[in-house]
Structure 1
Amino acid sequence: MDHDARNINLNRFRARKTMLMIVSDVAARGIDLPLLDNVINFDFPSRPKLFVHRMGRVARNGRPGTAISLVTSEDIPYMLDLHLFLSKPIKAAPTEEEV
């Protein structure tokens, strides 16, 4: 997508005319969306700071929000690194049996 098309789509998202936006790490840099409620992280990052950068887009200025990461067994070492980096627990989603 070229620069003009990105700006058009970003403005539509800001105006809430579009309710879903899929971006890469490159496209996400420098985007400020103060009313972003949810972020879904499809490809878990290998570095904790990149995770914080991605998820830092949600729930700014004291607003509530949700950050969800889809992970595989290969992502477990990265999740442990994140846990140590943040010094906070990582909450797992309930299993099918728990739902």
Structure 2
Amino acid sequence: MEAVLRALADESRRTIVETLALGPRTAGDLASALPIARPGVSRHLRVLREAQLVEVRQDAQRRVYSLRPAALAEVDVWLSRYRGLWEHRLDALHTELARGKRERRRDTA
């Protein structure tokens, strides 16, 4: 999981993952989504492959990259321990916002 988190720490690699979430892409397709040279995209793809976030298959002369959701599932399981904390805080925020709206309506009436 540590390799996945390190790989996702880079904005360009997160952009690649987000693009691949829409479906398989060639290296050229991915390069057009980023403001970096193609060799840089290849280096980012290598890091993502090593972290097992993406897989590659040969299609004639092209390499087609796909997202491997299993690597993200491990991070999701780890984050699930903390999700309850955020949900509780968001529920409390929702309550306070609703209370504020009620008070404003009461004050304007």
Q: Which has the higher helix share?
A: 2
Which of these two proteins has the greater Rg computed from alpha carbons?
2
Q: Which has the higher strand share?
A: 2
TM-score surpassing 0.5? Answer: no
